[in-house]
Structure 1
Amino acid sequence: MTPVLEPNRWAGSGRAAAAGRTPSLAVRLALGFALAFASTALLVVGVQTLLAERFGHLVTRMSMEGQTEDIFDAFVLNGERQVVGVQLTADESLGFDDFFVNLKFRVLDDSGQVVASSEADRRSLLPARGVAEQPGFFGVVPIDGRDFFVGAWQREVHGRAYVLQLARSDRFELLARQAVTPAITETVALLGTMSALIFALAGALAVRSVLRPIRAAEVAARGVGGRNLAARLPTDRMPSEIRPLVQAFNSVLDRLERSFQEQERFIANAAHELKTPLAMARARLEAGLRSEDDRTRVLQELDTMGRQVQQLLQLAQVADPQAMRRSAVQPLEVAREVLDHLAFKAHRADITLHLEEPEGAVQIEADAGAMFVLLKNLVENAIDFSPAGSVVEVRLSSAGISVDDCGPGVPVEHRLQIFERFWRAPGQTRTGSGLGLALVQEIAQAHGWAVSCGPASGGGASFSVRWSA
């Protein structure tokens, strides 16, 4: 067994060296988790920055629209129900006063006259636009050398239309961005770092849990050897992605075990069956061949041993179904070859061979050589047990093939044992190795066919092989 194990040993050393040069799967996955989260965090920061840059104006406008509601609600009316000013609450006034330099408003009536202002200056904030063109306007307007966001909104008060102009310095946006951006950056960096560590730790733990059954399978695989072929890799708690690989490996071990057992059976059977005829032939040769009968017996024994060796070799060849060379085969052609091959033997035994052909063409997937051996053994067995002057009938159909003889038949209690290796019926005097029908059974099983024995219509035995239901 050493030549088989040597390459595995060198392969294992190569794998160990390779594992030392590259990080483990757990480390690579942990780094992958961390990199993925860091990339996500950077993407979030980038999107936030992009939104702040591109939609800052929109946010400012929405904020200013909210402020206009407070101003509209604070309109002061005279006796004629005309707006003459704005009276904010204490809290709202305090907020306006704090940002008075950066926040301005004007209230215009339908004639364009400023009726209320946030400061002594009562000039329109949109002097280039008529009062009718102002509602809905929003943009950046320079006021006293500084840029302001200016918007205009209209509302009716007691049937008269008033336009509220609200201006806010763009420094509000800049100051807000300067105040919020560092906080967002620090928060994202902190959360990103903590999340990356958590992801890495969780990834490492997850990978360890996944690799644990794989390591168990590796340990089990190291225990498989020539003296322990019955060992199998565990499939319990194996990841679903890897379980098919483990099951396939176990199937390979099953086939190896069967092949190894067949090899042991072959060696044991060969040694057992050849031991006696070899000893007898040796004894006769040592005693000297005194007559023609002694010479004939030695030749017969040598022929028997040659046939046994040939059948044992054939049994070893068909023991593994994977070794079959399947192709499209026409059973009728194989049957004709077998009958031609055994025609001389049948003629010497005064046996007539008859082939009943099927009505239509029959073609199956099979190993042509193995099928020839199967049918040859069935027909040869029928010739050996048929009396002189009888007929051996070979019937072929689309479902299978059968061979009928006119011999003594097979008792019901022996119809299962007859396919066992080296089994011979009690009281059997004919020469034979007891391997022919066993070989038929092995070939049939390798192809997935069913073989059976029953009574023939003429009183003899009928052997049937069915390749389709």
Structure 2
Amino acid sequence: MNRRWLTLTAVFGLGFLGVSTIFHWVASAREARFLKSAEHRREMVRWEAAYALAMLTTFSGIGFLVAAAAKQPLRALRRQLSLLDPQNPWQRVHVDERDPEIEALVQEINRLLDRVQETLSEADRASARVAHELKLPLTMARLRMEQAVERVDPAISEQIQAELDRLSHYLDRALLLARAEKGGLVLRWERLRVDELLEELLEGFRLLAEAEGRTIEARMIPAEADADRTYLKQILYNLISNALRHGRGPIYLRLRRNASGITLAVGNRIKRSGVGRSGLGMGKRIVAALVQSHGNMRAAYRLCREWHCARLRIFPKMASG
């Protein structure tokens, strides 16, 4: 509904109320002169007051509804803006409203999001180029370190090797993210047991959790899904890793199966502010890119007070798209 028409309707209604009330009072006053008793005149005044109150209440209610309807597009726009995910810069807002002012506002917001997406895309391309450039020097450094291991103090050698491994892991993740977001991944589809993949990953994650005094409580049932083994394992790894890195207390993992597919939920308490916030946010981006590459998956995240829940749904391959 056009906001200008709503405004005109409200103005016309209030104007009609005022004019109608004035004419009615004038007519009533002229009519009251012909009434003989004061009681009749008081009765007429009471009826006219009731009429005016009813008119005022009716048009006030209409005005309130008109004002609420006029604000509805802005409320819808605000809800969409609050739901925008910083990890998904390609999202856009829209409102089913033909008001030129609202449409202009939506267009300006989407132009701003276009510029943000272009900036992030350029940063991603630059990161991918840097990762490609660093891959060869890093490999050569690792080879030289392996050759010189006998001439270097074992403790120092171990520290350097650990840092090289960490940097290599980060570069591999950056290159994977760049390929996935460009749609350059080649998927090798298989029928996989998701519960078995999770058990393989949980063996290592349980050791890491125990080192932090935490536990992983998993409830799983046998469940199969169509996916690429390597990339599905990467998705599962990132979901559990994020819960371990950014959470506290027990990690709850649930794997369920129904007619539409399987659902994996990973829940944990969020770390208190100021703790564990040094990550680069690459984990969720990799999950989003790999999920989009498969086409038969959906990933969602939900915050509820101090709880965070990551949910992965995998549908049958024939139902994708």
Greater radius of gyration (CA): 1
Common topology (TM > 0.5)? no
**If the TM-score is normalised by the length of the shorter chain, which range does it land in?**
0.3 to 0.5
| TM-score, structure 1 normalization | 0.32
Larger helix fraction of residues: 2
| TM-score, structure 2 normalization | 0.45
